[in-house]
């Protein structure tokens, strides 16, 4: 007999180890300097209005000496006026334990009020392998995060194989696959207490992976796909709940053989899609899409969208909310391996409800067989028909940047506002995540910093970023936000030095060209302030970088006209 410890209530369960709900004060809001990746602007309204700037396609990627860590060249179309709202400086979600190379992220948003959630699976190794899951919450659009829940197995009980999370409009649902006891779901009302209520979905040590979603029309309906090991390989099943996960019905067989990495998506008109890989060896894998048009009832129809991969990885799928289903758009994206050992991102679209698919290289990366792209993902929110796609790219000598873009159901092959928004190098060891929130009025991302316990987030429409972030200047090395920001004429920039030394403070445009030098030479320790007259500078986004004894801090400002 195992037990769950949930808050102050201990519940006997026959299927897992000890779980603890721990309280924690919110971590300090951190507005971090810009070290890696390239920050790009996003138009004024990701939900509809196109704004005044359209950065929509990568022309090439050149790695060369540059004032910025990575130099990106993009084809710009339209007015050079800046957007009214930009992606912000990355905010620390949490940093409690290093998830290593086998960690996992799951994200979602609470439909009732837009609260954002990030779950981190942290595997442990050695004789005391007590895995844990940290769940963080932001109630202000990702500007600050606090540990919301914590779960762990008792010492030596076993590992978590897979996690996923679904946030509806009444409850938060956490799905966990334990290597011995199978798939369990925990429910919690974020507005009432801190108790989790646990329900077995499917038990046994044969459950390998889980993917979970909720209905687009009925928030109480939940759906999961599971990968199950058997004597003849690994098969895929789907389950449905119509009562917020209390009971699970309609065990639906999808496919059997050698199957891997199933991901499920709901769509409009009771359509469902499952993406997965098939094959008997690493160099014979095929990306396949299963389509169900009867709310998981009836039969599945299958399409192979890539049969030429040299070991493709981790496809994901998303379907639009359009009805009737026969005219809805759908997307799938995956890592396509080539015989030269390189990998790029491919995707396929359907405009007839998954009846037929057309595949190509994913335009936001558009680097055929040249780099090592990893962990692509597409996701549609429940509120609109904007699909968001992300992937980690690993060009030579630059460890990786997180590419973000979105497409619309009305133009599914047009990927807009391609940008790299991670301020830190993101891990290529497990995937980042993207989602939507009403608190940001657009998309947001979460990722793990490479080789670190740090989990970071960034969001479109970060409040406070363009208005200036408060930084305490004193004896340390710090760079404050420009004030005012945005600016039309002049602005002041404050910074502090821990000791006397050589300083270089300069302003760059978004392409990496130096615009002005604000301070250069030896300066004493303490606080300093300089000004920049941007009256003659073209409207747009500018970066200002402070270098001191091998260390660099970078912030950004916006010139408006």
Separation CA 373–CA 390 (nearest Å): 11
Element (H or E) spanning 556, and its range?
Answer: strand 551-559
Asked whether residue 242 is assigned to any structural domain, the reply reads yes
| pLDDT for the residue numbered 183 | 94
Asked whether residue 74 is assigned to any structural domain, the reply reads no
Separation CA 21–CA 432 (nearest Å): 25
SS3 430: coil
Residues 171 and 103 in one domain: yes
C-beta atoms surrounding 164 within 10 Å: 26
**Nearest of 439, 398, 396 to residue 422 by alpha carbon:** 398
In degrees, rounded to 5, the angle at the alpha carbon of residue 238 between the alpha carbons of residues 237 and 240 is 150
Residues 309 and 424 in one domain: yes
Separation CA 267–CA 213 (nearest Å): 10
Of 435, 459, 483, which one is at a domain's C-terminal end?
459
Separation CA 353–CA 338 (nearest Å): 29
Asked whether residue 75 is assigned to any structural domain, the reply reads no
Query: In which domain, by residue range, is 317 found?
Result: 2-29+85-459
Asked whether residue 171 is assigned to any structural domain, the reply reads yes
SS3 145: coil
| pLDDT for the residue numbered 510 | 64
SS3 185: strand
**Nearest of 220, 358, 222 to residue 289 by alpha carbon:** 358
SS3 109: strand
Asked whether residue 448 is assigned to any structural domain, the reply reads yes
| pLDDT for the residue numbered 78 | 24
Residues 351 and 432 in one domain: yes
| pLDDT for the residue numbered 129 | 66
Q: What is the DSSP string of 36-83?
A: SS------S-TTS---S-EEEEEEEE-----SSSS-EEEEEES--PPP
Token pair for 381: 């929110």
Asked whether residue 388 is assigned to any structural domain, the reply reads yes
Question: How many helices and strands (H and E) does the chain possess?
Answer: 0, 39
* Residue stretches of the chain with pLDDT short of 50: 1-85, 397-398, 462-472
| pLDDT for the residue numbered 280 | 62
Residues 334 and 402 in one domain: yes
| pLDDT for the residue numbered 430 | 82
Of 422, 442, 459, which one is at a domain's C-terminal end?
459
Distances (CA, A) of 394 to 61, 203, 297: 11, 39, 41
- Length in residues, the chain: 561
pTM score, whole prediction: 0.69
Express each pLDDT in 329-364 by its tens digit: 999 999 888 877 778 889 999 999 999 999 998 988
Backbone angles phi, psi at 241, to 5 degrees: -130, 135
Residues 419 and 508 in one domain: no
**Nearest of 133, 34, 136, 132 to residue 93 by alpha carbon:** 136
CATH number assigned to the domain comprising residue 317: 2.120.10.10
Residue 217 near residue 238 (C-beta atoms within 8 A):
no
**Nearest of 208, 187, 209, 204 to residue 196 by alpha carbon:** 187
CATH number assigned to the domain comprising residue 496: 2.60.40.1930
Asked whether residue 428 is assigned to any structural domain, the reply reads yes
Of 411, 432, 459, which one is at a domain's C-terminal end?
459
Asked whether residue 52 is assigned to any structural domain, the reply reads no
Residues 472 and 373 in one domain: no
Token pair for 64: 């060369």
Residues 272 and 347 in one domain: yes
Token pair for 101: 């190379």
Residues 441 and 485 in one domain: no
Number of domains in the chain: 2
Residues 484 and 416 in one domain: no
| pLDDT for the residue numbered 288 | 93
Residues 302 and 243 in one domain: yes
Residues 133 and 208 in one domain: yes
SS3 92: strand
Residues 430 and 479 in one domain: no
SS3 120: strand
| pLDDT for the residue numbered 26 | 28
Distances (CA, A) of 513 to 56, 440, 447: 21, 31, 29
How are beta strands 207-214 and 222-230 bridged, if at all? antiparallel
């Amino acid at each position: 007999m195992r037990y769950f410890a949930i808050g102050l209530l201990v519940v006997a369960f026959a299927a897992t180890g000890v779980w603890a709900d721990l309280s924690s004060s919110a971590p300090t809001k951190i507005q971090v300097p810009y070290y890696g990746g390239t920050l790009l602007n996003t138009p004024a309204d990701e939900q509809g209005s196109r704004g005044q700037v359209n950065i929509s396609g990568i022309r090439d990627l050149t790695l060369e000496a540059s004032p910025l860590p990575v130099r990106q060249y993009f084809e710009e179309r339209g007015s050079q006026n800046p957007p009214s709202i930009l992606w912000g400086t990355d905010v620390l979600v949490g940093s409690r334990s290093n998830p290593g190379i086998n960690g996992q992220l799951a994200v979602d948003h609470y439909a009732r009020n837009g609260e954002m959630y990030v779950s981190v699976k942290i595997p442990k190794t050695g004789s005391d392998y007590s895995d844990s899951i940290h769940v963080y919450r932001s109630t202000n659009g990702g500007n600050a995060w606090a540990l919301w829940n914590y779960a762990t197995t008792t010492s030596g009980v076993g590992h978590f194989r897979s996690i996923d999370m679904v946030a509806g409009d009444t409850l938060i649902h956490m799905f966990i696959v334990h290597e011995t006891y199978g798939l369990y779901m925990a429910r919690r009302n974020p507005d009432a207490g801190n108790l989790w209520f646990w329900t077995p979905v499917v038990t046994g040590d044969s459950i390998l992976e889980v993917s979970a979603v909720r209905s687009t029309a009925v928030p109480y309906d939940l759906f999961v796909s599971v990968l199950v090991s058997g004597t003849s390989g690994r098969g895929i099943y789907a389950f449905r709940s119509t009562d917020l996960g209390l009971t699970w019905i309609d065990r639906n067989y999808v496919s059997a053989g050698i199957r891997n990495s199933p991901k499920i998506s709901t769509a409009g008109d009771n359509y469902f899609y499952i993406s997965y890989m098939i094959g008997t060896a690493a160099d014979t894998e095929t990306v396949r899409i299963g389509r169900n048009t009867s709310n998981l009832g009836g039969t599945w129809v299958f399409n192979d969208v890539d049969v030429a991969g040299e070991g493709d990885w981790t496809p994901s799928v998303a379907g639009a909310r359009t009805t009737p289903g026969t005219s809805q758009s759908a997307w799938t994206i995956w890592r396509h391996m080539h015989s030269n050992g390189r990998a790029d991102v491919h995707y396929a679209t359907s405009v007839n409800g998954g009846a037929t698919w057309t595949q190509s290289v994913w335009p936001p990366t558009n680097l055929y067989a040249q780099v090592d792209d990893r962990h692509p993902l597409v996701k549609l929110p429940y509120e609109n028909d904007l699909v968001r796609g992300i992937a980690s790219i690993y060009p030579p000598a630059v460890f990786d940047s997180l590419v973000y873009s979105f497409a619309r159901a009305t133009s599914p092959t047009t990927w807009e506002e391609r940008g790299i928004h991670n301020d830190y190098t993101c891990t290529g060891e497990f995937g980042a995540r993207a989602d939507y929130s009403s608190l940001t009025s657009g998309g947001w991302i979460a990722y793990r910093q490479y080789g670190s316990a740090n989990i970071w987030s960034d969001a479109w429409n970060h409040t406070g970023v363009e208005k200036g972030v408060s930084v305490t200047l004193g004896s340390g090395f710090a760079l404050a936000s420009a004030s005012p920001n945005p600016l039309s004429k002049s602005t002041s920039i404050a910074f502090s030095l821990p000791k006397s030394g050589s300083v270089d403070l300069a302003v760059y445009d978004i392409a990496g060209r130096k615009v002005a030098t604000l301070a250069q030479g030896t300066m004493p320790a303490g606080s300093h302030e300089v000004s920049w007259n941007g009256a003659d500078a073209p409207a747009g986004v500018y970066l200002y970088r402070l270098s001191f004894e091998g260390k660099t801090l970078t912030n950004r400002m916006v010139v408006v006209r």
